[in-house]
Amino acid sequence: MSLVSPTAISSVHTDVRKALTRRERNVMGLVVQMSMLIALLFTLLILFTLLGRVISDALPMLEVRGTTFLTSTIGSDPDTIGIWPGLYGSFFIGLGVLVLSVPLGVAAAIYLEEYADHRKWYNRLVMVNIRNLAGVPAVIYGVLGLVIFAGWLQPLTAGKTVLAAALTLAVLVLPIVIITSSEAIRAVPQGLRDAGYGVGASKWEVNRDHVLPYAAPGILTGTMLSLARALGEASPLILLGAITGRLPETGLTERFTALPMLIYRWSANADPQDATLSFSNAAASAGVVMLALVLLFNITAIVMRSRFEKQRVGQ
């Protein structure tokens, strides 16, 4: 039996120390890092330029009209128009998306990740189709909503109404909710499940008391991203007959409009010569309001996510 000499051990220690402490520049790594930094700065520059332009165009309308711009109705005079019908429609469309897509999406994600056997070909086929549906253009969902929700289900939705729009956009974002919820559930450590099974909990109790609370931050983030996309879509609403002119009445079973539709219409309108304000100012102001709503939803998601994370750490 041969022993390693102290000199060899010392030599190995020296070589390891040199390998750990030497400072060699990774040129390719620095190039990639600088490229990503330049791309980030360029993206932020474009974003803040657009935001600055929109806010500068919106300031005259918001300064002159104030809160009356939020409570007034649609019209043909940019000095008196408002976004109340658009706010009404966007609010109930967003509420319908949350009520319909979130429970269905999270339940589907739990089944696919915790109960479905991925060795079965049909379960794998379902996952592939869900991922493909997330990339389908929004206008296709608009056609689906026009045929099914505004056509076949007209006794339920009363035709081209807020209900039909909410159902259509809920179907549009449902694949995104399923995918993001599945990723959040997949990130839960297996040891957490095993600990629950070890104390005698059933599969549903483990999912309810351990998996879902742990995955809640990721699920909330995906939900808010889905809601933000739903609130910004215009093409499905165009196919569903969203009105861009004056509304005779605002209600769930009446003809409707939404903030993206008002921005689209006012951006294309010609300004009256005798008007103090312009339709461009109105469109920019509506855009600022919609950005504020999306930002509010994201702040709510961040607060709730932080709360769930604190509870998770505390446990």
**pLDDT at residue number 235:** 84
Cα–Cα distance between 210 and 85 in angstroms, integer? 43
CB 286 within 8 A of CB 83: yes
- 8-state DSSP, 287: H
**pLDDT at residue number 124:** 86
Per-residue CA distances from 150 to 165, 193, 241, 284, 315 (Å): 9, 44, 10, 31, 48
**pLDDT at residue number 168:** 93
Q: Is residue 18 part of a domain?
A: no
CB 160 within 8 A of CB 251: no
Q: Is residue 107 part of a domain?
A: yes
φ/ψ region of 138 (left if φ > 0, alpha if ψ in -120 to 50, else beta) reads: alpha
For the four alpha carbons of 245, 248, 252 and 254, in that order, the dihedral sign comes to: negative
pLDDT digits (tens, 9 = 90+) for 38-97: 999 999 999 999 999 999 989 989 888 888 988 888 878 888 888 888 888 888 888 889
Q: Is residue 6 part of a domain?
A: no
- What are the φ/ψ torsions at residue 270 (nearest 5 degrees)? -85, 140
Cα–Cα distance between 84 and 69 in angstroms, integer? 8
Nearest to 74 by CA among 283, 273, 287: 283
Total residues belonging to the chain: 315
* pLDDT block averages, 10 residues each, the chain of length 315: 61 68 72 94 94 91 88 84 87 89 93 86 88 90 91 86 90 93 91 87 88 87 86 85 63 77 84 78 90 83 78 63
Q: Is residue 120 part of a domain?
A: yes
**pLDDT at residue number 18:** 67
**pLDDT at residue number 214:** 87
Q: Is residue 10 part of a domain?
A: no
- What range defines the domain where residue 125 resides? 62-314
Average pLDDT, the chain: 84
**pLDDT at residue number 46:** 94
SS3 state at 119:
coil
**pLDDT at residue number 267:** 84
Q: Is residue 39 part of a domain?
A: no
Q: Is residue 20 part of a domain?
A: no
**pLDDT at residue number 169:** 93
How many structural domains does the chain have?
1
> What CATH number does residue 187 fall under?
1.10.3720.10
SS3 state at 278:
coil
Q: Is residue 159 part of a domain?
A: yes
Cα–Cα distance between 74 and 259 in angstroms, integer? 11
Question: pTM (2 decimals)?
Answer: 0.81
Nearest to 290 by CA among 247, 234, 222: 234
